[in-house]
Homo-oligomer: A and B are copies of this chain.
Amino acid sequence: MLIDAFEVTFIKELVHGFPRSPRQLNSLQGTDAEIVEWPDHGARQLAVSTDSIIEEISSGLYDDPYLVGWMTVMASLSDLAAVGSVPIGLLISEIIPHDYPRSDLRQLQQGIADACIECETYIIGGDTNCAKNLMLTATALGTLNDRFLTRSGARPGDLLYSSGQLGGGNAYALAKLRRFDVLPSFMPIARLREGQSLTTLATACMDTSDGTMATLDQLMHQSGVGFELNATWDNALRQEVRDIARASGLAPWLFLAGQHGEFELLFTIPPRRVESLLAVAETMQWQPLLIGRAIPKTEIRLPLHDRIYTIDTTAVRNFASFRNIEQYVDALVQYDKELQEGAVTHA
């Protein structure tokens, strides 16, 4: 609640570039809550997720207002993608500093609008407030038709896929926070159509918003299975990521370990459904990447050179508690070193 009369005009300005949902029944500021017609085509469940973009801004990771707007929308939509939901729209709560430049605000709103257009969805409401630092929270709403994806259904023997190439989020974060001259592109698109197509195929699914290793760690704990990546897992890294790994002298697998993800979906498919997956994917001109398989023992195994290493994903996740990028990268590099020195080889 911005509580002066200026609010009315300000909000009109903020939402000016947002296309309005054809299903929204209330006029702008015409009701205390936003009203959306419930789609009639068999929707049976509501999917909702809320995500705040705060540490990404305060750490300097996102300093482009357009990217802040884009990511606010995409982070929440990516959660809908991971359960297989069709979006209805989003509500955005914007906390804006008093002195935030108007041109930056326009860029930010443009990022929100463009992300909605990209995913064929809408901003249906929101709230604005003032505080010292910019912070955004999006709540995404979607429908489901009796089927949804969980993190808990993976079974030993299931094949592990990624919806797309990995490591881009961490490569961006490294380049951004270490002030590289050239930044890799970072403009994720929520994998909504892919997630929807997986509701009848995948046994488990989760988005890589916190990076690949954190995602595997969660899938492991929720499903009670482990994962072993393929010997060729590094084919799933983006070329830019491999280039940055080489240039920075970091082991490529660390780009799966860092906690700034790329908003792909990791999912498991029973072998008997692989053919169906590939058929569906082809109709969508989508190339899911086979990166490993689920194993009975609850551990994460990573082939490096000629050996298979077990990654302590809890330890790796906890490195994120370091506030400083240098310390964080140092901790990851040190872990990599210790891993390879004291390696346990599995059959």
A35 to B54 Cα, complex, angstroms: 25
A33/B49 contact (C-beta < 8 A), A5-B217, A210-B3 known: yes
Tell whether A214 is near chain B: CB-to-CB under 8 Å.
yes
Is A37 in contact with B44, judged by CB distance below 8 angstroms? yes
A50: B residues at CB distance < 8 A: 91-93, 125-127, 137, 139
Contacts known (A30-B222, A35-B144, A144-B35); A3 close to B320, Cβ less than 8 A: yes
- Select which of B25, B54, B152 is within 8 A of A30 by beta carbon: B152
* A132 CA to B58 CA, complexed, in Å: 10
Complex formed: what's the CA distance from A235 to B151 in Å?
Answer: 57
A30: chain B residues within 8 A (beta carbon) = 150-152, 222
On chain B, the residues within 8 Å of A25 by CB distance are 45, 148
Contact status of A318 and B48, CB under 8 A, knowing A32-B207, A35-B83: no
- The 8 Å CB contact of A36, one of B38, B45, B81, B151, is B45
Determine the distance from Cα of A144 to Cα of B37 in the docked complex, in whole angstroms.
9
Min CB distance A82 to B, Å, is 4
Question: Separation in Å of the A221 CB from the closest CB of chain B?
Answer: 8
| Cross-chain contact B36 with A48 (CB below 8 angstroms) | yes
Main secondary structure of the interface of A (DSSP, over half): mixed
Q: Is the CB of A125 within 8 A of B3?
A: no
Q: Residue A177 at the B interface, CB < 8 A?
A: no
* Docked complex: A176-223 residues within 8 A CB-CB of B: 205-207, 209-210, 214, 217-218, 221-222
Chain B nearest CB from A52 CB (Å) reads 5
Cβ–Cβ < 8 Å partners of A31 in chain B: 82-83, 148-151
10 interchain pairs (CB within 8 A)? Answer: A1-B55, A1-B209, A4-B317, A27-B152, A36-B45, A37-B44, A49-B125, A50-B139, A132-B132, A139-B139
A residues adjacent to B (C-beta < 8 A): 1, 3-6, 8, 25-27, 29-38, 43-52, 54-55, 58, 78-83, 85, 88, 91-93, 95, 124-127, 129-133, 135, 137, 139-142, 144, 148-152, 205-207, 209-210, 214, 217-218, 221-222, 259, 314, 317-321
Q: What 9 A-B pairs come out closest when comparing CB atoms?
A: A32-B82, A33-B49, A32-B79, A5-B317, A139-B139, A3-B320, A50-B91, A33-B47, A33-B79
